[in-house]
Amino acid sequence: MKELLEGSLAVAEVVRLCRPGVISAYPITPQTHIVEELAQIVANGKLNAQFVNVESEHSAASTVLGSVACGVRSYTATSSQGLFLMAEVLYNIAGMRLPVIMTTAARAISAPINIWNDHQDVVSLRDSGWIQLHAEDIQEAVDLHLIAYRLGEDKSIMLPVMVCMDGFILTHGLETVNMPSQEEVDKFLPPYKAPYKLDVTNPLTLGPLVDPEFYTEARFALNETHKEALALIPKITSEFSNVFGRNYNGLVEEYQMKDAERVIVAMGSVCGTIKDVIDELRKKGKKVGLLKVTSLRPFPSSHIYEALKNATKVAVIDRALSLGSFAPLASEIKAVFFGKVKKPKVISSFIVGLGGRDITRESIKEIFRLLTGKEKQGEFIDLKPELLKESYE
Amino acid sequence: MKEIRIHARAGQGAITTASLLGYAYFLKGMYPYAFPSFGAARMGAPMNAFVRVDSKPVRLRSQIYEPNYLLIVDHTIMRGFNCFSGLKEDGVAIINAKEGAIEVPKIKAKQKVFIVPANEIALKHIGRPLGNTSMLGAFCAATKELSLEDLNAAIKHRFDLKLQEVNIKAAKEGFDYVRSISV
């Protein structure tokens, strides 16, 4: 049914429809509305789940680690510093092969403290073993949660999935959303049957000490599973489209790419703004396109190669930094083309929209303009040079 | 596509205003994107809320720099801040202020400004100086974007019982006020 919903409430509602048995979270802006709403839903008896209030994100992550280890579908959500406080546990969740589903309301990181949106928090967790999916709009955020449960809980995968949605822009924005019915969700997402779980009658150890004899293979297997997830995601999204009628590729989305010469690669809500700019530039005859990366992990290298191999010039937008090195997404896009014969002449890298700095149509046009020139390396868009002259002396 | 920018202080209900407006458009089959922009996340700090609406889903995620319509919920913000920045040539602004409390801002030939004592209207009906629904009533009359019925439907969706009743009254008085001064 079509409704006008705040992103956070839409996500809380779809989580309810997924029937988790345990929810544990600690509130942090801009994730708060999601877990507030879920607490209310549980308190009102609209979801038969245990909402575990905890004193920190570390405990929230530990709680859902425990509950999924006991075979119960679980959910948590966080942002920014909260995600970092969870980090130690998150690696364990992935290593123990526990399909926890988490929403991250993507937000800048301290210091300086900043509550607004960018991707520095989520991108820094890219090596944790979690599958990481990025939503462009509220509808996609809703749908990715359904896909996340199916994917993570698949017996061949058994991995946690993080659904990333831009803080404020999507969490606090209201948009028309087609909310699925319980019947549809039940059809798409069967109850969770854990292939292994903590059970006193069948004792099992998860995450024990593993010596050098075995550790490499455990990590190798984790990495192999990510490759399998790459193959499984399109199958799940095609099933998704049969049930819900909405089409996602789940890995990447191509927009006006057929004859595109200049292409922007980006993730998240900025893709909407980019699409609008592309429509405007296309009317003027400019051959521009967008490659949206939905799945950052697993990283769909071959899909990206196929999509970009014929483009002349590519601009990669990062809303995050790898301080002291190349921007994270840009370096991976470049890696895709290393040693390849067919490749774009230019792969430029742009940093934009840190800590909630507004990304306007002009910001995107500027990137397309700069793409007509020489290759740029980590070029900041909308930087205020006058602020750099300020000093504490 | 129409763009509406709301200027207010945190705690004055600008987000509610944006979502009511968004909902009224939604009920008409339009696609709104209503969103806030916070400053320091402190009550009383100047903040904006926005509504961007189109007949197809809105994809543009930036803030609104060239609004068609302005709702200035707290006129004291105008002292230190150009709320009129970027207002379209034929834009319409609604300012919440008592009659005679502020000078009518200088505007371009085709622009329109309506000064509405929304707080007084709200005090009368709601008992608190929350002029949002009377501002929205004024918006309907001033822009003809929405009918009062459209707005009432959104108010009914948002509020129950007594609150619904008083907000509908406040909206109507805001609507009538603009009608009375724009004849």
pLDDT digits (tens, 9 = 90+) for A134-175: 999 999 999 999 999 999 999 999 999 999 999 999 999 999
Give the C-alpha separation, A153 to A161, whole Å.
9
Inter-chain residue contact A276 with B35, CB threshold 8 Å = no
Give the C-alpha separation, B90 to B71, whole Å.
15
Rounded to the nearest integer, the mean pLDDT of chain A is: 97
| Average pLDDT, integer, range B144-156 | 97
Instruction: Say how many domains are in chain B.
Output: 1
Q: Has residue B96 got a pLDDT over 70?
A: yes
The predicted pLDDT at position B183 comes to 60
User: With contacts defined as CB-CB under 8 Å, which chain A residues touch B36?
Assistant: 168, 172
Interface of A with B in 59-118 (CB under 8 A): 115
The predicted pLDDT at position B39 comes to 72
Q: Has residue A353 got a pLDDT over 70?
A: yes
Can you tell me whether residue B115 is helix, strand or coil? strand
Percentage of residues in chain B having pLDDT higher than 90: 86
Per residue in A26-78, pLDDT (tens digit) is 999 999 999 999 999 999 999 999 999 999 999 999 999 999 999 999 999 99
Structure tokens at A285: 């005859």
| Average pLDDT, integer, range B52-57 | 98
Can you tell me whether residue A5 is helix, strand or coil? strand
Q: Is the CB of A57 inside 8 Å of chain B's CB atoms?
A: no
The predicted pLDDT at position A153 comes to 98
Residue of B nearest to A175 (CA): B33
Q: Has residue A357 got a pLDDT over 80?
A: yes
Inter-chain residue contact B32 with A4, CB threshold 8 Å = yes
The predicted pLDDT at position B166 comes to 97
The predicted pLDDT at position B43 comes to 86
The predicted pLDDT at position B81 comes to 87
Inter-chain residue contact B60 with A168, CB threshold 8 Å = no
Q: Is the CB of A382 inside 8 Å of chain B's CB atoms?
A: no
Mutation target for B interface from A136, A175, A276: give the one with most B CBs within 10 A. A175
| Average pLDDT, integer, range B121-137 | 96
Q: For chain B, which residues lie within 8 Å of any Cβ of chain A, measuring from their own Cβ?
A: 15, 18-19, 22-23, 26, 31-38, 41, 57-63, 65
State how far residue A269 is from chain B, nearest Cα, in angstroms.
7
CB B20 within 8 A of CB B151: yes
Determine the structural domain holding residue B73 and report its residue range. Answer: 2-181
Per residue in A278-335, pLDDT (tens digit) is 999 999 999 999 999 999 999 999 999 999 999 999 999 999 999 999 999 999 999 9
Tell me which residue in B15, B41, B61 faces A269 most closely, judged by beta carbons: B61
Residue B106 — very low, low, confident or very high, per pLDDT cuts 50/70/90? Answer: confident
Domain of residue B58, CATH code: 3.40.920.10
Q: Catalogue all structural domains in chain A, each as residue range(s) with its CATH number.
A: 2-244 (3.40.50.970), 252-388 (3.40.50.920)
**Cβ atoms < 10 Å from Cβ of A16:** 20
Q: Has residue A218 got a pLDDT over 70?
A: yes
Strands of the A50-53 sheet, one edge to the other: A50-53, A22-25, A74-78, A101-106, A161-166, A131-134, A295-297
The predicted pLDDT at position B40 comes to 67
Rounded to the nearest integer, the mean pLDDT of chain B is: 95
Residues 6+ apart with CB under 8 A from A140: A248, A294
